């Protein structure tokens, strides 16, 4: 499954919407996504499962790139 992760680079700063970044991760579930990203010290705002038309839409974006972790 592909998950879209919204995060802030620095977990010690107050989240600002304009600084939110996105990455795509392939994993079995949300818990696995969090485990894969724990070393990066991100402030994770949301992990969203992508499937169906939503996944197709994201894959059509030029910014779509699945992280290899």
Number of structural domains the chain divides into: 1
Looking at residue 14, its pLDDT comes to 83
Looking at residue 39, its pLDDT comes to 93
For the domain that residue 22 is a member of, what is the CATH number? 3.10.20.730
CA distance 8 to 45: 7
Segment-wise mean pLDDT, segments of 10 residues, the chain, 69 residues = 94 85 96 95 95 96 90
Looking at residue 58, its pLDDT comes to 96
Looking at residue 65, its pLDDT comes to 94
Range of the domain at 8: 2-67
CA distance 45 to 61: 21
pTM tops 0.75, yes or no: yes
């Amino acid at each position: 499954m592909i998950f879209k992760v919204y995060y802030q680079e620095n977990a010690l700063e107050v989240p600002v919407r304009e600084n939110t970044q996105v990455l795509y991760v392939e994993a079995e579930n949300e818990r696995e996504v969090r485990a894969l990203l724990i070393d990066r010290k991100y402030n994770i705002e949301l992990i969203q499962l992508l499937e169906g038309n939503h996944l197709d839409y994201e894959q059509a974006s030029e910014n779509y790139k699945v992280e290899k972790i």
